[in-house]
Amino acid sequence: MEVKVVSGDITKLSLGAIIVNLFEGVKSPGGATGAVDRALGGAIAQLIAEGEIKGKLNEITLIHSLGKIEPARVVVAGLGKEKDLDLRRIRGVAAEACRFLRKAGVERVGTIAHGAGTGGIDSEKAVQAVAEGTILGLYTFRKHQTKESEQGEIKEMLIVEQDESKLPQMERGCAKGIVLAEATNLARDMANEPANYMTPTDMAEVARKVAQDYGLECQVMEQEEMEQLSMGALLGVAQGSRQPPKFIILSYKGDKRSKSALGFIGKGITFDSGGISIKPSEGMEEMKGDMAGGATVIAAMRAIGQLRPKINVTGVIPATENLPSGTALKPGDILRAANGKSIEIVSTDAEGRLILADALSYARKLGLSPVIDVATLTGACRIALGDFCSGAFGNNEELIVKVIKAGEEAGECMWQMPMYEEYKELNKSDVADIKNVGKRWGGAISAAQFLAEFAEDTPWVHLDIAGTSHSDKDKAFLVKGATGVGVRTLVNLALTLAKK
C-alpha cells in the first residue's frame, strides 16, 4: 500500500472514499470537514442535528456522496472530546476508519490530517500519526493461508492538504510514519511466525537481510563463540534444543567520531515450552511469540538504519529455543554466567532472564551505554498491568523517564515499577550466587532485580512486554496477534539521544 501527502481540494479527487472528522459535541463542523459538509449540501450537519453523528471517539458514519462531490463516499470519524485529542487517538481513529473502508471494498482513500487543523496539533506529527495508524491498522498476516482474503485491500491512502505551505513538514511526517509503521509490521511478522518458521537461525537471517538492506553491520555468533565467551547461562537454556542458538549483533554507526553507543537487547526465545519445568499445554502456542523483544530490536535497528540519526546504536539479540529433552537444563542445576556469577536454576521456565544475563554482560563488555532491554519476561507483569501498559524497570531514574516519554510519543504506554532493594533478597540462593526464581508474588520485580545484577552499574532500563506484545483483538492501531510493541519507543529514544 502507498501512503502519501498531496495538495488540493479533497472534494475534487476521484477516490472510493474520503475520511473527515468531528469532535464530540460540535454542532456545525468547521475546517476541512466543514468544507466537505457544504459540498454535500449540509448532509453532515443534518446527521449531527438528527443525533446520528455524535463525534464520539472512533465512531464511524458512512455517507454516500451520490455525485455531489468526486469521492464516492465520505466517512465521518469521531475524534472524541477536543481537549482529549492526542497522537495516540489520531493513530487509532485512522486505523479504525481504514479497517472499516477495507471491509466496504474501497481501494483508494483520501483523508484529512486529523488534529492538524482545528485540533491544533503540530501538522508534521499529526500526519505521521495518520500514516502510522493507516499502515499499522491495516496490517494482516496471511502468509500461511492458501485462500485469498475475502476482505478487500486498500491500495492507496492520500493525506490531503489544501494549504501548500504546509506540505514540506507534512511530507516529513508522512515519511517518518511510514518507516516506523513498516518497521513495527516487520516485528509483527517475525513474532506472528510459528516457531518452525522463526528459529534462531531464521532470526539471524532476518537480521542479516536488514543489515544488508539498510547499511548496518551484522555479526552472528555461533555456539562455539558463545562457549569461548563463557556464556553459560544462555548455553544452559539452549542445551535442550536441536536448533543451534544464535547471538545476533546489529550495529548502526551514525556518529563515527564517538566511541560510545546506545544498546538495545531483545529476548529471542523462539519457542518457550518451559523446558523441563514444562508449561501447561493450554495456550502454549502463544509462546511462539517469546522472541517478540528480539524482533522489536531487529525492527528498531532497521528503522534507525533508514532514518540515520547522528548516534551509534547496537542491538544484541540472544536467540534460542527453550525445550525439554535428554540434554535439557534441569531444576537444581547450577550455571556459570559470562560475568562469572553462578546461577541456581529453580525453574527452567525462567529462561528469559538467563539469556538476557549473558547479553547484558556482553553489552557491558562492548561498553554500550545506556542499555535498554525488551523482553516478554514474566506472566506476573501481564497480571499486574494487563495488555495495555508495559512494565518499566531500571537502575537510573533519568533514563526511565526518557524511555517512558519516548513511549508516550509512540502511543506505547509504560508504567514504572518499583525496584526497592528488598525485592533483591528474593533471588538469594543457598547454593549459588543467585537463583533464577524468587517468589511468585512480585515476580516481575524479582525478575528485573535478577537482570539488575548483570546490568551492574550501566545505566539500564528493562521493558517487560509479556502483556503488551500480543493483542487478542483488533483495537485502534493494534490488530489481533503480535503488536510489535517497543519498536517505535526504541527508535524515538535513539532520535532523542542523537546529536542534532
CB of 351 to ligand BES, least distance (A): 5
Query: Crossing angle for the helix pair 487-497 and 167-192, nearest 10 degrees?
Result: 130
CB of 264 to ligand BES, least distance (A): 19
- 379 contacts ligand BES (rule: CB under 6 A): yes
Which of these segments, 136-144, 295-303, 342-350, 398-406, binds ligand BES (CB under 6 A)?
342-350
Catalytic, 38? Answer no
Query: CA of 157: how far to CAs of 108, 227, 464, in Å?
Result: 6, 51, 34
Sign, CA dihedral 130-309-252-464, equals negative
- 331 contacts ligand BES (rule: CB under 6 A): no
Which residues, in sequence order, are CB contacts of 370 under 8 Å at separation 6+?
262, 263, 396, 399, 458, 459, 460, 461
Q: Nearest residue by C-beta to ligand BES?
A: 379
Q: Please name the amino acid found at residue 2.
A: E
Which grid cell sits at 295?
Answer: 524482533
Site string for ligand BES, 431-470 (x = CB under 6 A): ------x-----x----------------------x----
Catalytic residue among 108, 267, 353, 382: 353
Query: CA of 150: how far to CAs of 31, 87, 479, in Å?
Result: 36, 31, 17
CB of 456 to Zn ion, least distance (A): 23
Please select the residue that binds Zn ion; options are 263, 352, 391, 442, rule is CB under 5 A: 352
How many Å apart are CA 448 and CA 450, to the nearest integer? 5
Which grid cell sits at 372?
Answer: 535498554
CB of 485 to ligand BES, least distance (A): 12
CB of 377 to ligand BES, least distance (A): 6
- 373 contacts Zn ion (rule: CB under 5 A): no
The strand pair at 312-322 and 246-253 is best described as antiparallel
Site string for ligand BES, 395-434 (x = CB under 6 A): ----------------------------------------
Please select the residue that binds ligand BES; options are 170, 291, 380, 385, rule is CB under 6 A: 380
The closest of 65, 153, 149, 64 to 101, measured between CA atoms, is 153
Task: Identify which of residues 136 and 444 has a Cβ nearer to Zn ion in the complex.
Answer: 444
How many Å apart are CA 80 and CA 93, to the nearest integer? 10
Phi/psi class of residue 484: alpha, beta or left (left: φ > 0; alpha: ψ in -120 to 50)?
A: left
Catalytic, 353? Answer yes
Please select the residue that binds Zn ion; options are 202, 290, 321, 453, rule is CB under 5 A: 290
Please select the residue that binds Zn ion; options are 37, 132, 182, 272, rule is CB under 5 A: 272
- 272 contacts ligand BES (rule: CB under 6 A): yes
Rg (CA), the chain: 24
Q: Which active-site residues does the annotation give?
A: 279, 353
| Interacting residue ranges for ligand BES, rule: CB under 6 A | 272, 290, 347, 349-352, 376-380, 382, 437, 443, 466
| Interacting residue ranges for Zn ion, rule: CB under 5 A | 269, 272, 290, 349, 351-352
